[in-house]
Structure 1
Amino acid sequence: MSVTDVLNPAALMHPQAFLSPLAIDDAVERALAEDLGRAGDVTSIATIPANTQAFAKLVARQAGVIAGLPLAVATFLKLSPDVRIQAHAHDGVNVAKGVHVLTISGPARAVLSGERTALNFVGRLSGIATLTSDYIRHAGVTKTRICDTRKTTPGLRALEKYAVRCGGGFNHRFGLDDAILIKDNHIAVAGGVKAVLQRARAHVGHLVKIEIEVDTLDQLREVLATGLADVVMLDNMDIPTLREAVAITNKRVVLEVSGGVTLASIGEIATTGVDYVSAGALTHSAPNFDVALDIDA
């Protein structure tokens, strides 16, 4: 891997994904405020002389897809402008166990004070990216794209959805204002499939997509008869029903599968010919990626 001197955290972003610098700054400031409290790192202040320098390596202790490096860099730079960082990887790269992804040098107090915050970001986001990559691998060579959901950690949605992109996945809507997604409760309250779609189409502009969730083939047929939906979400359907739904639709709308999707089931789901599969597990159940900061004495 090449070595890059990092002056700007954004330089380590995935080349095909975007994470706002404002989101990075906000997340880092909130995380450091949570960890440093009112008095700072009292342990480092008490035990490390102010002029002491440290040299450290951020090490991947397992194989997988790295994500969150811009946040780690921003963490250390926020604590001291004198920290120097070299990158041996960027977000979205597959790394082997034991690979050094960053080297950090500078004031020891800043390095030690930022350690846990930096590791938390990289561990969490790399875990999501790695799990997303695993889902894509299990889906095999099909047209199906793997998407996230809104089942994210409160306050960290932009970061976690970015991590899904780092793993090769795609983003569903970021919030309730992105697009219209009509769920079963909307249908129940609005008075049925046709009524809810008519109201939705009358309300939105020409650039707003309308997706509607169905859990039976009869509902799917009713949606298709209206011609008012752009995307249909097939909720908690078994494999034979999904295959029939694809045949009934005959490419008239985009089809998305949702509900209880796992690594064990994604492969067979993808073979049905659906366009998208959304899995909340990508963000709500991703295991932490094992990463550490090793100090060179």
Structure 2
Amino acid sequence: MNDKAFPIFATCLGGCLIGLAPIFVRFSEIGPSFTGFYRFLFASLLIFFYGIFFQKIRIFNFKELLIVAIPGLCFGIDIAFWHSAITMTSVANATLFINTAPLYVCLFALVIFKEKLNFLFSIALILCLSGILILTMSNSSFSGDLYSIGNLLALFGAFFYAGYLLSVNKLSAKYDIFNLIFYSSLFACIPLGIGSLLELDNPFPQSYLGWSNFLGQAIFVQIMGQGLVVFGLSKIKPQISSLLLLFQPVTATILGVYFFSETLLLGQFFGVIILLVGIYFAGLSERLNREG
């Protein structure tokens, strides 16, 4: 695999690993914010000890600390909304709505960073958002006010997810990937810790399986999944990577059908196909940008 293709592959694989997150959340023995808090706490500790042993941890001054805190705070708020949404609506819907982030990423890139979108990427964006819309409208497994609130929470979370993707992309030009992952995980604990205080729930799991759930999230979702995503974000544009990350809802939708018997209708299959075509065009757009 050549150097140009690997960041795209890494981002897609990272998206698939992150797609495991809602399954872990559904099987968690405690509330959604507590679950997210432990995911980032365990990941931070594992990364910290690894970084100390191999002398990779950087100590930043206060000003730099405020800067590297931005991705983590955005990510923590995103996860708080998303995890709550997972408990209210289907795994597919919660994950699909949180992945409307590409729309926000494009708006931020256009308005704040004055970046231009090429024609091929515009087609990719339209296809991906169309796929999400079809997948969402085709899902009839859940209904009611709680279902609608869950969808709305995921949409709010998408705004902060976009902030995370953009800030990591910009900061990766100055800071190394290892420390970005570490400080993002560490500072994400803050909003999730605050959210946990609002949950009238047991803060500790009742079994070894409950604790292993957090360890699985820390290793597979946060360290491996987000590690690959941060690497991809450091190499390709955030507009492109945010579309490639739509492998996340595809993975979550399939696993939701398998583990929780969530109905996957014919329309949703078409939605997945359209999403994958959009992802292909996004990757093609990135390759043409690099060659140009």
TM-score, reference length from structure 2: 0.27
| More RCO (CA 8 Å, sep 6+) | 2
Larger Rg over CA atoms: 1
Between Structure 1 and Structure 2, the one with more helix by share is 2
TM-score, reference length from structure 1: 0.26
Between Structure 1 and Structure 2, the one with more strand by share is 1
